[in-house]
Amino acid sequence: MTQKWDIVIVGGGIAGYVAANYLAKTNLSILILEKGKNVGGRARTNRINQQYLNQGPHALYKKGKAKSILEELKINLNGKSPKTGGILIENNIEYAAPFSPLELFTTNLLNGKERLEWVSVLLKLMSADPEKLAEQTFQQWVQQTARSKMVESLLYTLGRLATYCHAPEMVSAKVMVSNMKNAMGGVLYLDSGWQTIIDQLHNKAILAGVQVQSHTRVKQISPAPQGQFKLVLSNNEEILGKYVICTSSPQELHELLVEKLNLDQNHFYAQITPIRGATLDVALTQLPNPKQLFALGITDPLYYSVHSNYARLSDDNKSAVLHVFKYLHPDDQIDGTSIKDELEQFLDKLQPGWQQYVISSRFIPNITVNHRLPQIGDESKLQRSKTAIPGLYIAGDWASPDSILADGAVRSGKQAAEEIIFNEMRKNSANIERRLPTI
């Protein structure tokens, strides 16, 4: 028999689970379909040799939408905030990062004039109205804001750190500045990794009656009679849904749809570029250099951070769990061997002799950090989470008009749920009015 559901959510990642938890407060039947063996998507944390490794460096903005929405859903977010100190590396020389008042006035990276300019630029950043930057690229904003090349470089470095974006000539200044302002408010590294978010969302959804099917790939979505959707699975089983929330990538969504979206939306989805990176995730019995906890390359788009100094990421709480990451430009050709060498050499500079302390090490040469590199004009094409097909909604890190990363995923998941709830209330109200006797 064909299964029938009020709502079918394609994808068991953070966006899908947030939507499910809001919708679970209604009387609607809800099914989550996850193509993988395990739910969670890129928020999954792997437990390897009693160490908890996120898929690359993950941090939650303390002032971001994701944190406030997850707290609204009663999700516990246990962890601590990293300190703002650390080093910047340029031409193999280490400098104190001018991201805190002490380092600002002691670093050798900046001369006196550049120090004053950097303070002025940070104040401009914090007071900037992102809405007024919608027609500018991040590069254009940086060049208008900074006078010296060094301060320009610092803004690009801070932008990468806040957004994972390494294409200033392409990305929207509005989205970049908005995310940088959030990042300046601090981040959280989570105890036991981001899996804790998924586990809590999953358990709450199950207790509320949401059904979850993993190892279930959807290969086609098409309109069905009576305003429904037919979802054909990879084993050719069929599922009917009154509403569908699709949390897959824009390219996957395009491939799934039998009835295509309008021409403009089709073209937009096909042109969306992902944010990519390469990650080296490492657990060590100890740090050769225990004081070296955070570093960024200035010209080289590299990142290093010891997350276990602020979050519990091992069963014994004695190990060091760290991430070394390279921000990739959309035009970069991926050579896994050379990138791995680059990341390991960067770690060698910071933690000489680290190889003899390895508990586990994992290299991922090409990881999708976000399914949409935010560009000028995206906002108008992503207004709210409806598609051109009534009853079909999108959610995910790419689907929110002015947010990316976890903020975009969580925000769009909630928004899709709210729009469905509003639509149901409107229909129910109309039905009641039709049944009322006329006087």
User: Does residue 422 surpass a pLDDT of 80?
Assistant: yes
The CA angle 275-395-424, to the nearest 5 degrees, is 170
Tell how strand 294-297 and strand 302-306 pair up: antiparallel
How many whole angstroms separate alpha carbon 59 and alpha carbon 398? 18
Q: Does residue 404 contact residue 64 with C-beta atoms inside 8 Å?
A: no
User: Does residue 384 surpass a pLDDT of 60?
Assistant: no
> Which residue has 């070394």 as its token pair?
324
* Exposed/middle/buried for residue 66 (C-beta within 10 Å: 0-12, 13-18, 19+): buried
Q: Which range is least confidently modeled, 138-152, 210-224, 365-379, 384-398? A: 384-398
pTM (2 decimals)?
A: 0.94
Fold equal for 3-44+194-273+374-432 and 100-185:
no
For 200-210, how does the pLDDT look when each residue is reduced to its tens digit (9 = 90+)?
999 999 999 99
Distance (Å) of CA 103 to CA 72, 110, 158, 178: 36, 10, 15, 24
DSSP, collapsed to helix, strand or coil, labels residue 30 as strand
pLDDT: is 265 or 401 the higher one? Answer: 401
Distance (Å) of CA 93 to CA 299, 348, 352: 12, 14, 15
Which of these, 369, 279, 295, 366, lies nearest to 56 by C-alpha position? Answer: 279
The reported pLDDT for the residue numbered 103 is: 87
How many whole angstroms separate alpha carbon 124 and alpha carbon 115? 14
Q: Give the start-to-end residue ranges of the domains of the chain.
A: 3-44+194-273+374-432, 100-185
> 169: which 2 tokens?
């000539």
Helix (H) or strand (E) segment spanning residue 306: strand 302-306
User: Does residue 134 surpass a pLDDT of 60?
Assistant: yes
CATH number for the domain formed by residue range(s) 3-44+194-273+374-432: 3.50.50.60
The reported pLDDT for the residue numbered 402 is: 85
The reported pLDDT for the residue numbered 257 is: 86
Helix (H) or strand (E) segment spanning residue 9: strand 3-10
User: Does residue 385 surpass a pLDDT of 60?
Assistant: no
Q: What string of DSSP letters covers 236-253?
A: S-EEEEEEEEE-S-HHHH
The reported pLDDT for the residue numbered 313 is: 97
Phi, psi of 264 (to 5 degrees): -65, -45
User: Does residue 431 surpass a pLDDT of 90?
Assistant: no
DSSP, collapsed to helix, strand or coil, labels residue 219 as strand
The fold of the 100-185 domain, in CATH, is Guanine Nucleotide Dissociation Inhibitor; domain 1 (1.10.405)
Which of these, 268, 229, 293, 308, lies nearest to 50 by C-alpha position? Answer: 308
Which band of pLDDT confidence, cut at 50, 70 and 90, is reported for residue 261?
A: low
Phi, psi of 177 (to 5 degrees): -65, -40
Longest dimension (CA), the chain: 87
Cβ neighbours of residue 311 under 8 Å, at least 6 residues apart?
Answer: 79, 80, 189, 190, 191, 192, 193
Cα Rg of the chain (Å, integer): 23
Q: Does residue 330 contact residue 373 with C-beta atoms inside 8 Å?
A: yes
> Which residue has 């380092």 as its token pair?
103
Phi, psi of 171 (to 5 degrees): -85, 155
> Which residue has 């995310």 as its token pair?
179
Q: Does residue 321 contact residue 52 with C-beta atoms inside 8 Å?
A: yes
User: Does residue 262 surpass a pLDDT of 70?
Assistant: no
How many whole angstroms separate alpha carbon 303 and alpha carbon 367? 15
The reported pLDDT for the residue numbered 379 is: 81
User: Does residue 414 surpass a pLDDT of 90?
Assistant: yes
Which band of pLDDT confidence, cut at 50, 70 and 90, is reported for residue 433?
A: low
